[in-house]
């Protein structure tokens, strides 16, 4: 079993950081600071190096420090068991294309980087996975499966491209008051195998994810509730080819592809009821953390690698019992390097005083990082 370890991080002009060079511990790294100090931005920089994008912002220019025209991230990653290193650089400048460089060689396709350095991020905004639309849940599952299997990511990229082309064609039909069934069928023939592959992969991986989710929720909540995660897809009722044919009238009227795997969803339940409606804030947060830990273990089992785990402001809305159960879980042998952020230094010290661990503690203030226990 390999362990991914971020040994060193250099930040320049990323969000509220001017220049920082940070050396991290192999197991546990704690960051403390008031809201807005830059704790989350630091974790986002780590995420960026692993996924070629921010966890929070799709607009690259918003990641550049105010009144600057570029940002740069340099990360030195190491596989602890083999000592193999990966030097990853991410560069963004105004009016220039994003550049991700691995060991001095730029990627031609950024998708080739996904899965090289597996990582799982738990953030406060993740509550929208429970309360929000299906889009967020699809992104979560797709992001997970893309780390597991490059062919899944390739199929997903191709599917989204063909969907855009098909939607554009449907819009042209409407604007020109014409219709060409043969031309539309060429897009259908491309979509069907891609959508079917994605659908089957989602079914298989959801089946593997569910028992892990239930196991981790039981640990965190001490077995007080029973949770479930159901994959919801119209392709369970009919083939994709039949679906496209039966929805032709609706697609032409709406000028877009109204049904398909791009509309799939996952239903979260607690004690047989929708978690969104019947779960308390503590139960919802426990579910969310259990789901992310289950995803972590799914990646570990599939790739034989312990990913990096980022836990941002996780202690809020968790009672003492759930907090203790969570920390006992992530400090176990099935977890690797961990980053935890919080606003209260004493709270973190009290939590980890009960564990035989020597964390690295960093204080962050206005984008400046200070190592407290060096």
pTM of the model: 0.94
Rounded Cα gap, residues 183 and 373, in angstroms: 66
User: pLDDT tens, 264-297?
Assistant: 999 999 999 999 999 998 899 999 999 999 999 9
User: pLDDT tens, 84-131?
Assistant: 999 999 999 988 889 999 999 999 999 999 999 999 999 988 999 999
Taken in order of first residue, the domains within the chain and their CATH numbers are: 1-118+307-374 (3.40.50.300), 134-303 (1.20.1050.90)
Helix, strand, or coil (residue 100): strand
Task: Find the mean pLDDT for residues 31-39.
Answer: 92
Closest listed residue to residue 334, CA positions, set 27, 17, 122, 12: 27
Per-residue pLDDT, 316: 78
Rounded Cα gap, residues 46 and 42, in angstroms: 7
Give yes or no for residue 174 having a pLDDT over 90: yes
Q: Which residue has the higher pLDDT, 77 or 96?
A: 77
Strand blocks (E) in 211-367: 227-232, 265-270, 273-274, 305-306, 308-312, 338-342, 360-365
11-373-330 Cα angle (round to 5): 80
Share of the chain above pLDDT 70, in %: 100
- Positive/negative CA dihedral, 347, 28, 126, 320: negative
DSSP of 119-162, one letter per residue? Answer: EEEE-GGGGHHHHS-HHHHHHHHHHHHHHH-HHHHHHHHHHHHH
């Amino acid at each position: 079993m390999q362990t991914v370890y971020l040994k060193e991080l250099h930040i320049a002009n990323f969000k509220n950081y001017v220049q920082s060079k940070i050396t991290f511990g192999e197991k546990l790294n704690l960051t403390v600071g008031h809201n807005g100090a830059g704790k989350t931005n630091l974790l986002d920089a780590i995420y960026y190096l692993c996924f070629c994008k921010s966890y929070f912002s799709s607009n690259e220019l918003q990641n550049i420090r105010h009144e600057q025209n570029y940002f740069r991230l340099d990360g030195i990653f190491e596989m602890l068991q083999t000592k193999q290193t990966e030097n990853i650089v991410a560069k963004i400048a105004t009016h220039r294309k994003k550049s991700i460089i691995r060991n001095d060689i730029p990627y031609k396709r950024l998708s080739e980087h996904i899965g090289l350095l597996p990582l799982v991020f738990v953030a406060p905004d993740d509550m929208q996975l429970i309360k929000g639309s299906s889009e967020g849940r699809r992104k979560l599952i797709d992001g997970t499966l893309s780390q597991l299997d490059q062919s899944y990511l390739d199929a997903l990229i191709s599917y989204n491209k063909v969907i855009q082309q098909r939607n554009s064609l449907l819009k042209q039909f409407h604007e020109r008051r014409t219709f060409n069934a043969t031309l539309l069928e060429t897009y259908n023939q491309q979509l069907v195998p891609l959508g079917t592959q994605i659908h089957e992969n989602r079914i298989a991986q959801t089946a593997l994810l569910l028992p892990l989710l239930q196991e981790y929720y039981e640990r965190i909540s001490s077995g007080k509730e029973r949770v479930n995660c159901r994959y919801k897809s119209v392709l369970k009722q009919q083939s994709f080819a039949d679906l496209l044919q039966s929805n032709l009238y609706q697609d032409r009227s709406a000028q877009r592809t109204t049904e398909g795997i791009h509309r799939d969803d996952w239903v979260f339940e607690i004690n047989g009821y929708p978690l969104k409606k019947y779960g308390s804030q503590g139960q919802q947060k426990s579910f969310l953390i259990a789901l992310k830990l289950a995803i972590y273990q799914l990646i570990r089992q599939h790739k034989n690698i312990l990913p990096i785990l980022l836990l941002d402001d996780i202690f809020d809305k968790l009672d003492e019992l759930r907090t203790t159960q969570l920390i006992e879980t992530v400090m176990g042998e099935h977890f690797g390097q961990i980053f935890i952020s919080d606003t209260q230094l004493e709270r973190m010290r009290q939590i980890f005083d009960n564990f035989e661990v020597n964390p690295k503690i960093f204080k962050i203030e206005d984008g400046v990082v200070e190592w407290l226990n060096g």
